[in-house]
Chain A
Amino acid sequence: DIQMTQSPSSLSASVGDRVTITCRASQSINTYLNWYQQRPGKAPKLLIYAASSLQSGVSSRFSGSGSGTQFILTISSLQPEDFVSYYCQQSYSSPPTFGQGTKVEIK
């Protein structure tokens, strides 16, 4: 299985900050990388697919980049509703695997 490792596991930031979350794959996955946002008690929501394509209806303050083994999710200006958890997921090979998650907390 391809292992996905996110860093940091948690971070503290303020409204308006620019934040980045990193996801590393244990082997090259080209750009087969998706990002999800999960609010407490809710299902994950797709933000980014194919490493950098913004899902329809998702705010443009979210962006993704990377290829191969290293990927980045950037939130350009944190809004109050963004203080939740984020997960990366590879779709390069089966089984699809997720990172362990990054929790964004209010500083």
Chain B
Amino acid sequence: QLQLQESGPGLVKPSETLSLTCTVSGGSISSSSYYWGWIRQPPGKGLEWIGSMYYSGRTYYNPSLKSRVTISGDTSKNQFSLRLSSVTAADTAVYYCARLGTATVTTVYWYFDLWGRGTLVTVSS
């Protein structure tokens, strides 16, 4: 059973860089069938996609965060990571890593089919 687990500091100071890692077990991030992504949820609010990556290194970012985000993978450790620079209080959120699965119905559809438990990151001095 594939599982994802986020790890990283729970408290980050304003203007610093938030760094999180997602460790994948029971499966490989090198699978050609899947993309891997990060989504966040501020306390009491909705969900926001941050970005996604393919094991080849190709990345996709939300334009609203693109200037501050880097997502990368380490296939040797079966992990992928998120870095978000110049954080402010508005970046306080639960951060989830997730797998993007696909299915072919009439065409190819994709969705977030497996999620980590999430980790709360608070930006505060």
> Which DSSP category, helix, strand, loop or mixed, fits chain B's interface?
strand
Tell me whether B90 is interfacial, beta carbon within 8 Å.
no
Given the complex, which residues of A lie within 8 Å of B109, measured CB to CB? 31-32, 49-50, 53, 91
Tell me whether A71 is interfacial, beta carbon within 8 Å.
no
Q: Choose from A43, A89, A97 the contact partner of B96 (Cβ within 8 Å).
A: A43
- Total number of A-B contacts with CB less than 8 angstroms? 58
Give A43-68 interface residues, CB cut-off 8 Å to B. Answer: 43-46, 49-50, 53, 55
Given the complex, which residues of A lie within 8 Å of B110, measured CB to CB? 91
B46 & A43 in contact (Cβ 8 Å cutoff):
no
Interface size on B, residues (CB 8 A): 22
A43 & B115 in contact (Cβ 8 Å cutoff):
yes
Q: How far is the CA of A95 from the CA of B115 in the complex (A)?
A: 18
Tell me whether B103 is interfacial, beta carbon within 8 Å.
yes
Q: How far is the CA of A43 from the CA of B49 in the complex (A)?
A: 14
B49 & A96 in contact (Cβ 8 Å cutoff):
yes
Given the complex, which residues of A lie within 8 Å of B113, measured CB to CB? 46, 49, 55
Tell me whether B62 is interfacial, beta carbon within 8 Å.
yes
Given the complex, which residues of B lie within 8 Å of A96, measured CB to CB? 49
Q: Choose from A34, A99, A100 the contact partner of B111 (Cβ within 8 Å).
A: A34
Given the complex, which residues of B lie within 8 Å of A100, measured CB to CB? 46
Query: Measured between C-beta atoms, what is the minimum distance from B34 to chain A in Å?
Result: 14
Q: Which residues of B contact A (CB under 8 A)?
A: 46-49, 60, 62-64, 96, 98, 103, 105-106, 109-113, 115-118
What are 19 pairs between A and B in contact, CB < 8 Å?
Answer: A1-B63, A31-B109, A34-B112, A36-B112, A42-B117, A43-B118, A44-B47, A44-B112, A45-B115, A46-B113, A50-B105, A87-B46, A91-B109, A95-B62, A95-B64, A97-B49, A98-B47, A98-B48, A99-B46
